[in-house]
Amino acid sequence: IPALAIQFHVEKSIRGPFHSHYLTTMSRQKEVEEEQETEQQDTEQADDGRTQPVVKLRSLANLTAKDCQCLEANGFCTVESIAFAPKKALLALKGIGEAKAERIFLEAQKLVPMGFCTATEFHAKRSEIIQIVTGSKELDKLLQGGIETGSITEMFGEFRSGKTQLCHTLAVTCQLPIDMGGGEGKCLYIDTEGTFRPERLLSIAERYGLNGNDVLDNVAYARAYNTDHQMQLLVQAAAMMVESRFALLIVDSATALYRTDYSGRGELCARQMHLARFLRFLMRLADEFGVAVLITNQVVATVDAMAFAETKKPIGGNIIAHASTTRLSLRKGKGENRICKIYDSPCLPEAEAMFSIGNEGIMDAKEKPEKDNKDRD
């Protein structure tokens, strides 16, 4: 027995440190294999979809897991977001050196086509765009199908003009199948004024025969409390869009917090610069993920000596005017009726349509506008 004890003690002392090193090496090797497997799965998913997760650059640009986390924390969740961004945006990130930023930027541009294409090819891409129905056939006819994906649509008007009600209806219709005028995707809803009401979604869902609980589960809601928080929510939105399919992003209202966080002419420049960055982020999300971006805007009264000048105009100035692809002007009509006018669009003619607000959301107007009758002989 003493001899066996001595032999066991000798074997344990000999293999102890080597065995510990062996276990550590095997553990690290297993971690590397798991990381490579995860990276391969993400790459395969990227090849099937439109966007490519930033992890695809890990092996190409010799990035670490910490580098990828740094990029994602700053809103660069996809390869497209890096390729579309200016180089100085990467240089401003802490932990990303100049040489590494240059590698990341070059590899991202190799994966994302950013050169010229023929008008025929671009026309084919445009055919993939989806229009999300609004709930009113007359309004959909005015918009030639509905709210367009891949671009920013701005709605502005005074209070009670139907902006928020349109947002609620579209938050439901975007979940409809494509053959029913929907986007077959979820909705992201950023609320800056506290006007979001989930019970409205339930009544609208009942109108379209959708399950109320499923509709609510497919709407990601967040309340923004200041302009900086509003920008941070877009970073979270980008990360969520990588993980799941979203068809619509709503910001109601995009300009309300800017009117309170910035005051006076002394802060006008800072306000417009912050608003421009926010709108540029929205444009980037629309380009990367093909979502429809819908923002609401407030109006301000104008004091003008001209008799026929507009008494109210949307706030935000030229910054928001140039960022929005389609601008819709809403105004009150008779009773529950509202009037929508194409204020600016690259392809839609200037025209108007009347719609109504009911218990089941946006619908066709109850009373059609009267037409001028010509005297008959």
Identify whether residues 198 and 311 lie together within a single domain. yes
CATH of the domain at 56: 1.10.150.20
Fill in the DSSP letter of residue 366. S
Q: Is residue 242 part of a domain?
A: yes
- Would you say residue 44 has pLDDT above 80? no
The reported pLDDT for the residue numbered 10 is 46
Strand-pair partners of 327 = 154, 344
- Would you say residue 47 has pLDDT above 60? no
Angle between helices 198-207 and 163-173 (to 10 degrees): 60
Identify whether residues 315 and 266 lie together within a single domain. yes
Rounded to the nearest integer, the mean pLDDT of the chain is 86
CATH of the domain at 245: 3.40.50.300
The reported pLDDT for the residue numbered 43 is 45
Q: Is residue 23 part of a domain?
A: no
Is residue 294 within 8 Å of 251, Cβ to Cβ? yes
Token couple for 177: 């199948």
Q: How far apart are CA 81 and CA 78, in angstroms?
A: 5
Q: Is residue 28 part of a domain?
A: no
Please state the length of the chain. 377
Tell me how many domains the chain contains. Answer: 2
Higher per-residue confidence, 113 vs 247 = 247
Name which of 68-72, 223-227, 283-287 the model is least confident about: 68-72
Identify whether residues 158 and 92 lie together within a single domain. no
Identify whether residues 141 and 71 lie together within a single domain. no
Q: How far apart are CA 321 and CA 356, in angstroms?
A: 27
Q: How far apart are CA 151 and CA 156, in angstroms?
A: 16
Q: Express each pLDDT in 236-262 by its tens digit.
A: 999 999 999 999 999 999 999 999 999
Q: Is residue 25 part of a domain?
A: no
Fill in the DSSP letter of residue 116. -
Chosen domain end from 81, 112, 143: 112
Chosen domain end from 112, 139, 158: 112
Identify whether residues 91 and 212 lie together within a single domain. no
Identify whether residues 133 and 108 lie together within a single domain. no
352-358 vs 361-364, strand pairing mode:
antiparallel
32-50 average pLDDT score: 50
The reported pLDDT for the residue numbered 169 is 98
User: Which residue in the block uniquely carries the two structure tokens 């005017």?
Assistant: 321
Is residue 158 within 8 Å of 331, Cβ to Cβ? yes
Strand-pair partners of 78 = 53
CB-based contacts of 196: which residues, under 8 Å, 6+ apart? 164, 168, 189, 221, 223, 252
104-119 average pLDDT score: 92
Q: Express each pLDDT in 167-184 by its tens digit.
A: 999 999 999 999 999 999
Q: Is residue 138 part of a domain?
A: yes
292-318 average pLDDT score: 82
Identify whether residues 88 and 137 lie together within a single domain. no
The reported pLDDT for the residue numbered 372 is 43
The reported pLDDT for the residue numbered 26 is 58
Name which of 13-17, 65-69, 351-355 the model is least confident about: 13-17
178-204 average pLDDT score: 96
Identify whether residues 155 and 299 lie together within a single domain. yes
* Residue-number span of the structural domain to which 57 is assigned: 51-112
Q: How many CB atoms lie within 10 A of CB 325?
A: 18
- Would you say residue 97 has pLDDT above 90? no
Identify whether residues 77 and 142 lie together within a single domain. no
Is residue 147 within 8 Å of 163, Cβ to Cβ? no
Q: How far apart are CA 289 and CA 53, in angstroms?
A: 12
Q: What is the Cβ-side half-sphere exposure of residue 83, based on CA atoms within 13 angstroms?
A: 19
Token couple for 40: 């391969």
The reported pLDDT for the residue numbered 62 is 86
- Would you say residue 369 has pLDDT above 70? no
The reported pLDDT for the residue numbered 363 is 94
Identify whether residues 106 and 134 lie together within a single domain. no
152-156 vs 186-191, strand pairing mode:
unpaired
Name which of 184-193, 270-279, 366-375 the model is least confident about: 366-375
Angle between helices 227-243 and 268-289 (to 10 degrees): 10
The reported pLDDT for the residue numbered 289 is 95
Q: Is residue 179 part of a domain?
A: yes
* Percent share of the chain, pLDDT over 90: 65
Q: Is residue 71 part of a domain?
A: yes
The reported pLDDT for the residue numbered 61 is 85
- CA dist list (Å): 210 to 168, 241, 248: 15, 23, 17
Identify whether residues 226 and 281 lie together within a single domain. yes
First and final C-alpha spacing in the chain: 130
260-278 average pLDDT score: 93
263-276 average pLDDT score: 92
Q: How many CB atoms lie within 10 A of CB 190?
A: 23
Token couple for 240: 């969520």
Identify whether residues 278 and 317 lie together within a single domain. yes
**Of 8-12, 26-30, 122-126, highest mean pLDDT:** 122-126
> Is residue 346 very low, low, confident or very high in pLDDT (cuts 50, 70, 90)?
very high
Closest to 328 in 3D by CA, of 356, 350, 358, 355: 350
Q: Is residue 123 part of a domain?
A: no
The reported pLDDT for the residue numbered 306 is 62
